[in-house]
Structure 1
Amino acid sequence: MSRTLTVRAERWQIAGAFVISRGVKTAAEVVVAEISDGDHPGRGEAVPYARYGEDMVGVLAGVETARGAVEAGCSRAELQDILPPGAARNALDCALWDLAAKQAGVRAWTLAGRARLDPVKTCFTLSLDTPRAMGEAARAQGRRPMLKLKIGGADGIDQVAAVRAAAPRTRLIVDANEALTFDELVHLAPELARLEVLLIEQPLPAALDEALEGYASPVPLCADESLHTRAELAACARRYACVNIKLDKSGGLTEALALAAEARALGLEIMAGCMVATSLAIAPAVMLAQGAAFVDLDGPLLLARDREPGLAITGSTIFPPPPELWG
């Protein structure tokens, strides 16, 4: 099967800025891969992420190393052995899913054995800021069913308290992005429980999260930076109650679906997560989000504008992608 691969870098402005404990982003830089058989184009979008040693140059180069195999007709299963987990493999894997669906004349979820996709409700992320600013942001988003708050350390309790006061009926998740020490977590967790926080995401640096083994947190803990693929799953199951699965970490939808199945078998809850990206990156993750306990697919909502056609999003409800977008 002869194919043509094209790949390009794109830059999408963020509405304002996206601030976490590690820094500030004002634009989403994404890689778009398109694989065509001459009649059907398949597309995938991925986000190079510096925390994992990625940048645009490296991800584009990674895609190029797989060009020969992709254009010669490699399968999604074969792609798993050609590229390591990460953004380059994600862009190609999602493009192959899209291409296969269009070639078969069915939706991508049919290929995965699902009869349909249901709409999902995403949380909405509030960037790290002063307590007053985060409270004002929470008030503006207070009708959303769930908010995810970025904190930068043990003093984050002030931000959480401000958000809770501004949005008393909204469910809350706190994401530390590795900013806490174990002692700070032990001090902070009971206070977060008092504020009815549902989940604490990645409290400790991934390299130090062995300290969580045996710790009975009053708020369930969720792995993000600590989990990429099934290789880390056994360790995460000893330390966390939930795992955040992102296509850019797992290296595509193929591994993400397998990872979710094994995580559930171990009794872990699933969060379907994303980087800040357009609807093209989020569309395949809607399949991953089916049945997830937590959905964090608000990437397009954080942009100044999304690509067209994009996902239909009403409030916090994301509808299945149209075939013109993906799958």
Structure 2
Amino acid sequence: MSRRVLRVRPHAWPLKEPFAIARGVRNEAAVIVVEIAEGACVGRGEAGGVAYRGETPASMALQIESVRTAIEAGAGREALCALLPAGGARHALDAALWDLEAKRCGVPAWRLAGVRQWRPVASAVTIGIRPPEACEQAARGYAGFPWIKLKVGRDAPVEAVAAVRRGAPRARLIVDANQAWTRAELRTHARAMRPYGVDLIEQPLPAGEDAALAPGDAAGIALCADESLSTADDLPGLVGRYRYVNIKLDKVGGLTAALALAAAAKAHGFALMVGCMLGGSVSVAPAMVLAQQCAVCDLDAPWLQADDWPDAIAWRDGTMYLPVPALWG
């Protein structure tokens, strides 16, 4: 058996424009890149980490270095789940191990994951926080896309939704508050947004305040938990309060853990959404495997960048296609 070699480096992808959400503004996607070489095969992973939990490329690199010996000695994906906690470092390593296995055995990662048939993924495209007139202008550029996701804060969220609906009358619409609202604001905003055909409101309240939610708060609009979900232990507290859960590989620590969490979430009666943090095509490629069983997909991070990997995921009018083996999987 060939000796494994682990390589780790930070990278920063420039964004097309500043990306504003309720927690702040980003001008670049800062990621960690991992390569695991074994003989002639190299598996690759990428992760942006969970910034609101303090993860940075430097902190993820430290975590990865802490398990270097185990990885280079041959530790697999299941062992990795015991070696590192959920987060971006484990996502990057897990992705590299999936990619390495696919290359070594000549079987696509999606088949290794038990997906019977691959289909393209209809992903939301995200409009960051901006004035309503700028929301309308951005939405006009995405009017033919199947899904639009609108980031909002506490300032004029209903006006922003109305503007997006004017710009894209037929697109399905996700509104993401990123924990910015109170329960009273949710009740007020949801009722005002309902005439605009909003499909989903994502994480309206701060994580940990989910118990305050009650049936009827969202005026019939489906709610999706994001920051409130990291592991299967979080699921019982979300039952009856959210219809969807958003599984992000950076949060849960990779595709291996995400597939297990998806099965647990479905057993609890949740519909599935798959999302992502900022990062290039390698960071979202494993999530496209999970997307094969999700009702809602939000994997547009590479589309928000001014640059991406060679052989990047093909994206046309809101539809993402199978990653080529030269990229991942």
Residue 242 of structure 2: aligned partner: 240
Which amino acid letter does the alignment assign opposite residue 20 of structure 1? I
Partner residue of 2:185?
184
Which whole-Å CA distance do the structure 1 matches of 2:201 and 2:243 have between them? 10
CA distance in 2, matches of 1:152, 1:197: 16
- Structure 1 residue 259: Cα displacement: 0.8
Aligned to 1:148: 149
- Check the 8 A contact 2:49/2:251 in 1, yes or no: no
C-alpha separation between the residues in 2 aligned to 1:152 and 1:113? 39
Asked if the contact 1:154/1:188 (under 8 Å) is kept, the reply is: no
- Maintained 8 Å contact 2:123/2:319: yes
Cα distance in 1 for partners of 2:216, 2:54 equals 30
* Corresponding letter in the other structure for 2:243: A
- How far 1:315 moved relative to its partner? 1.5
1:95 aligns with 2:96: yes
Q: Does the 8 A contact of 1:128 with 1:151 survive in 2?
A: yes
Unaligned runs of 5+ in 1: none
Structure 1 runs (4+) deviating above 2 angstroms are 213-217
Partner of 1:36: 37
Report matched runs for 1:10-29 at 5 Å: 10-29=11-30
The corresponding residue for 1:172 is 173
Note the C-alpha offset of 1:213: 4.4
Query: In structure 2, what residue type is equivalent to 1:289?
Result: A
SS in structure 2 of the partner of residue 5 of structure 1: strand
Distance 1:228 1:187 in 2: 28
Q: Does residue 316 of the first structure (1) align with residue 318 of the second (2)?
A: yes
Shift of 1:237: 2.2
> Shift of residue 154 of structure 1?
5.9
2: distance between equivalents of 1:271 and 1:114? 17
Is 1:109 aligned with 2:105? no
Provide the alpha-carbon RMSD of the alignment: 1.2
- Which residue, out of 232, 244, 247, partners 1:230? 232
Paired with 1:49 and 1:246, the residues of 2 have a C-alpha distance of 10
Counterpart contact for 2:50–2:251, Cα < 8 Å: no
Shift of 1:114: 2.0
Alpha-carbon distance in 1 for matches of 2:91, 2:151: 25
Is contact 2:115–2:289 with CA below 8 Å preserved after alignment? no
Return the alpha-carbon distance in structure 2 between the equivalents of residues 307 and 326 of structure 1: 11
Give yes or no for the alignment of 1:276 onto 2:282. Answer: no
CA distance, structure 2, for counterparts of residue 252 and residue 49 of structure 1: 12
Q: Which amino acid is 2:230 matched to?
A: H
The Cα of 1:216 is off from its aligned counterpart by 5.0
Q: Of 308, 314, 321, which aligns to 1:306?
A: 308
Q: Separation in 2 of the partners of 1:237 and 1:287?
A: 25
- Deviation at residue 251 of structure 1 after TM alignment: 0.2
User: How far apart are the structure 1 equivalents of 2:49 and 2:116?
Assistant: 32
**TM-score in terms of structure 2 length:** 0.97
Partner of 1:203: helix, strand, or coil?
coil
Shift of 1:49: 2.7
Q: How many residues align?
A: 327
For structure 2, which runs of at least 5 residues remain unmatched after alignment?
none
Q: Is the 8 A contact 1:154 1:180 kept in 2?
A: no
Alignment-mate amino acid for residue 94 of structure 2: D
Please give the alpha-carbon distance, in whole angstroms, between the structure 1 residues aligned to 2:171 and 2:51. Answer: 32
Aligned to 2:68: 67
Distance 1:311 1:14 in 2: 17
Contact 1:154 1:185 in 2 (8 A): no
What's the offset of the Cα at 1:143?
1.3
Aligned to 1:265: 267
Task: Call closer, same or farther: CA 1:180–1:26 in 2, change over 3 Å.
Answer: same
**1:60 counterpart letter in structure 2:** A
The DSSP-based 3-state class of the residue aligned with 2:313 is: coil
1:143-176, Cα deviation, whole Å (9 max, x unpaired):
1111000110162111111111221111111000
Q: What SS is found at the alignment partner of 1:7? A: strand
Cα drift, residue 215 of structure 1: 4.8
Q: Which amino acid in the other structure matches residue 265 of structure 1?
A: A
Identity across aligned pairs (percent)? 48
